[in-house]
Copies of this chain bind each other. A is one copy, B any other.
Amino acid sequence: MSSNIGQALKVQIFGESHGPMVGVTIDGLPAGIAIDEEWLNAFVQRRAAKGSAIATARRESDIPRIVSGVNPSGKTTGYALTAVFENADTHSSDYGFLPDRPRPGHADYPALMRSHGQDDLRGSGHHSGRLTLPHVLAGGVAMLLLRTIGVSIGAHILQVGSVRDQSIDPVHPDMEALERCHTREVPALDTAAGDAMMQAILAAKADQDSLGGIVEVAATGLPAGLGAPYFDGVEAVLAQQLFSIPAVKGVEFGAGFGCAAMLGSQYNDPYCMVDGKVRTTQNQAGGLLGGITNGMPVIARAAFRPTASIARQQQTVSLSAAAPAELTVHGRHDPCVAIRAVPVVEAAVAIALADLYLQSR
């Protein structure tokens, strides 16, 4: 078991929240991909806490240092690209309750069982959301590769608590609207929905609580014929990537769980010809039939559980005493992890599609 994924494009992340650095190695990139560092830095910064009331107070510069795999002309060499990020702002003292009193909803207890007590749980160690930083960097590199074949990827926050944004149009996704929403603190398509989400999060935070959410993503420009039936199906490969993001508990494509209540005559997407190309008139399948792209936009959704670390008192156990115990967590945590996860979802989708694309050539 490892923090390593991929067949043609292999991604290995490393690091712990309170260690000296986190980083990622991306191996299998073709030679000659232009690595636009300015764009890459901007993409990575989308994941950063924006200083608002709804994000962690931890401040990190999050500047990637690419240490291999890019030549002096800024192009990939075809060998392993490694990028590292220094960790600077760590408060290990916030975690004094560990390892004795594991947080409900958090990986503390199973991580201790997995490591026979050797896990370095300060700041949640390798389980920390901080590891999404190198994950996003790898996704950014994958996007630079996918751009060369005309693929675009964009996500937004579809739901927070009971507040819902408008959905992406699955036949004609407005990729520019998705890009525009990324400048907002709550990246919703509908600004009113975004405002309501902000209020819901602030209310939860004020109540020493947290909220869950759903991120929706679209990928356009994919050729038909990418993927495979069974284990290397696009859904299977994308889902493994999406469920790798901490806090994801559900993934669906196209109509997703809504399929269960549908008739075949509703679900099946009729074919049509548009400008000489085979298209479908609707897109319940989310662009994926039998694990293979059909040339329509790929539409996916990922559900995020609420942040596990909350300030209100919770019931746990003392592992040393094997007895009930109370716990109040005083760390610095986002009250709704789904908000900052929007670029992470884009990154995960990019890595999966880039790997499938490289395998298909």
Contacts and interface: CB of A to CB of B under 8 A. Distances in A.
A56 B80 CA distance: 26
B232 A1 contact: yes
A110 interface: yes
A161 B235 CA distance: 22
Q: Chain A, interface size: which category?
A: 35 or more
One complex includes copies of this chain to the number of 4
A15 B259 contact: no
A250 B249 contact: no
Interface stretch (A26-34, A141-149, A179-187): A26-34
Nearest to A158: B260
B75 A118 contact: yes
Interface in A243-263: 243-244, 246, 248-263
Contacts of A81: 14
B19 A306 contact: no
User: What's the dominant secondary structure at chain A's contact region?
Assistant: mixed
A31 B115 contact: yes
A356 to B, nearest CB: 7
Given A19-B68, A251-B251, A304-B260, A359 B1 contact: yes
Contacts of A258: 303
B212 A261 contact: yes
Interface in A322-361: 322-324, 338, 356, 359-361
Contacts of A73: 118
Given A77-B125, A249-B252, 8 more contacts: A2-B27, A78-B119, A109-B224, A111-B229, A212-B262, A230-B244, A284-B305, A289-B308
16 contacts: A3-B80, A10-B12, A13-B80, A31-B119, A77-B115, A111-B290, A131-B229, A211-B262, A249-B286, A250-B252, A252-B252, A256-B303, A260-B338, A262-B305, A265-B312, A268-B308
Top 7 nearest A-B pairs by Cβ distance? Answer: A107-B290, A113-B225, A105-B268, A250-B252, A210-B264, A110-B292, A270-B315
